[in-house]
Amino acid sequence: MNFSSHKRAFWIGMFFLLPSLLAHAQTGITPESPLTITQVWQLTDSNSRKIQMTQLGVQAAEGNIKVARSERLPDVAMDGVLAHIFPMPIYENGLFHTPSQFPVEPKYYKVSADAYMNLYNGGKTNREIAASKTEREIALAKKQLSRQEIHFTAAVYFYDVYRNKSYKELLEQDIKDREKQLSEINALYKNGTVLKSDVLRAELRLSKQRMLLTEIENSIKIAAQKLNLLIGRLDNAMLNPIVPESAADPIFLKGIADYMNEAASKSFKLEISKKEQELGELKLKQVKSNILPSLGLFGEYAYTYPQIQFYPYALSLYSNGMVGLKLKIPISSFYQNKNKVKVAEIQLHRQEVEDEDVKENIRQEVQEAYIRYTESLKRIDVATENIQQAAESYRIVQNTYFNQLALLTDLLDVETQLLQSKFELTTAKVNARIQYYQLQKAVGNL
């Protein structure tokens, strides 16, 4: 590849990276910066494709309001006709005899303009505008709901990376301790104090720990890529999640009734359901108005050649116009509209039932998240106690083993228990934070 090819590839790469770099510049975050969960959410707000799609949905809904309002303006049209008129045969002696030709003017043209302004149509235009506004409110609520869900997904990925990095640190330290322990067991074996089987067991344990470390590193890469894609960064960009110590502290919870009341007023799912019910009511009224008459002001003016509309005819250009009121009564709608009204009523009733179902689901979701969060706090306390007990057990067995008063299998068991207890404490703290975000999402605060 020559220099010009390298240069072209560089600028192509910069073209695709520019939006991401600008987003990072706006938030003050560089690809190497440590990230807090708040910064991650800022990046998702700027770069998430799903949020961008919902924003486009809001813009489309706002455009529909303008379209509905434009229906209040008069309809104006122009029309033009240019034609050649064929001679008019007259069959005086029947169809199978030669006709005589009646002379006509072969040229014909007409230029006209007409306008119609609605004065009354049963309130359909106003309801169309109201329906468009309701659809915009639904689109806004869906955008906020999507934003909450993406924030929660980003938090899950963020804490997944953090948890596995914590696992990695614990396991790396454990591997160092096991390597030191293996050298001590080898020394005992050379002195004839322990059997070769003890050395092999220790080596096997160390090999398994190294394999587990590889699995954890791969889990970090997978979770990091998911988060990088979500926040608009390169797949392999470095990710250094920062979680303050205070983030692991228990968060004071209000009573479950307070969260239920808060969800009733803030839940975007409930807001969407209510707005869709309002939209169903507007559609029902719109269908019922099909039987109402419409009244409008109309006017038209035309230039025509030749004058063949009124007698006597004239081979000359003429013009005429008219203005007035136009009334339309949809008589057929009185019997055609009944089934349409029934369908609209069924759809509205379905929406009312769905609204009750949404309320029940929100109450269930809030209560479950509340219970699970309180449960996760207890797990933290239990995991903390387990570490203390496992550490003490490890200290005792380690001393007894190297004094030849315990088996290596006993030592390996307590080592595993201690490491597992440390893993469980990290997992409990991460799960508690995730459960808290789950509660906030259910309420509508995330």
Instruction: Convert the pLDDT of each residue in 190-214 to its tens digit.
Output: 888 777 888 888 888 889 889 999 9
Mean pLDDT score, 402-413: 76
Same domain membership, residue 318 and residue 200: no
Residue 183 is assigned to a structural domain of this protein:
yes
Same domain membership, residue 147 and residue 85: no
pLDDT digits (tens, 9 = 90+) for 75-89: 899 999 998 888 878
Count the Cβ atoms, other than its own, within 10 Å of residue 78: 8
Same domain membership, residue 286 and residue 421: yes
pLDDT at 9: 44
Query: What is the domain range of residue 257?
Result: 39-73+121-293+329-443
Q: How sure is the predictor about 349, in pLDDT bands with cuts at 50, 70 and 90?
A: very high
Same domain membership, residue 192 and residue 277: yes
How far lies 355's CA from each of 146, 243, 359, in Å?
Answer: 19, 39, 6
Q: Last residue of a domain, which of 311, 328, 345?
A: 328
Is cis: bond before 306, omega within 30 of 0?
Answer: yes
pLDDT at 153: 92
Same domain membership, residue 247 and residue 142: yes
- For the chain, the straight-line distance linking the first and the last C-alpha, in angstroms and rounded, comes to 50
**pLDDT exceeding 70 applies to what percent of the chain?**
90
pLDDT at 234: 83
pLDDT at 333 over 90: no
Nearest to 433 by CA among 394, 388, 385, 376: 376
Task: Please state the pTM of the whole predicted model.
Answer: 0.78
pLDDT at 7: 45
pLDDT at 412 over 70: yes
For 29, phi and psi rounded to 5 degrees?
-115, 125
Q: How sure is the predictor about 399, in pLDDT bands with cuts at 50, 70 and 90?
A: confident
Q: Which long-range contacts (CB under 8 A, 24 or more apart) does 233-240 make?
A: 233/20, 233/24, 233/31, 233/43, 234/17, 234/20, 234/31, 237/31, 238/31, 238/32, 239/35, 239/161, 240/33, 240/34, 240/35
pLDDT at 3: 42
Q: Which CATH number covers residue 262?
A: 1.20.1600.10
Q: Which of 80-89, 93-102, 201-210, 327-336 has the lowest mean pLDDT?
A: 93-102
Mean pLDDT score, 271-280: 91
Residue 155 is assigned to a structural domain of this protein:
yes
Residue 106 is assigned to a structural domain of this protein:
yes
pLDDT at 335 over 90: no
Indicate the Cα dihedral angle 189, 193, 196, 201, nearest 10°. Answer: -90
Q: Which of 84-88, 141-145, 291-295 has the lowest mean pLDDT?
A: 84-88
Nearest to 422 by CA among 168, 212, 223: 168
Residue 417 is assigned to a structural domain of this protein:
yes
pLDDT at 429 over 60: yes
pLDDT digits (tens, 9 = 90+) for 252-273: 678 888 888 888 888 899 999 9
pLDDT at 50 over 60: yes
Quick check: 107 and 305 in contact, CB under 8 A?
yes
Residue 381 is assigned to a structural domain of this protein:
yes
CB contact set of 105 (below 8 Å; sequence gap of 6+): 85, 306, 315
pLDDT digits (tens, 9 = 90+) for 383-398: 988 888 888 888 888 8
Same domain membership, residue 417 and residue 279: yes
Residue 87 is assigned to a structural domain of this protein:
yes
Mean residue pLDDT of the chain comes to 84
Same domain membership, residue 278 and residue 187: yes
pLDDT digits (tens, 9 = 90+) for 147-194: 999 999 999 999 999 999 989 998 898 888 888 888 888 888 888 877
Same domain membership, residue 301 and residue 281: no
Q: Is 89 helix (H, G, I), strand (E, B) or coil?
A: strand
Residue 1 is assigned to a structural domain of this protein:
no
When divided into structural domains, the chain yields a total of 2
Same domain membership, residue 302 and residue 289: no
**pLDDT exceeding 90 applies to what percent of the chain?**
28
pLDDT at 246: 64
Same domain membership, residue 125 and residue 105: no
Same domain membership, residue 402 and residue 372: yes
Same domain membership, residue 79 and residue 108: yes
Residue 206 is assigned to a structural domain of this protein:
yes
Q: Which CATH number covers residue 312?
A: 2.20.200
Q: Last residue of a domain, which of 328, 344, 377?
A: 328
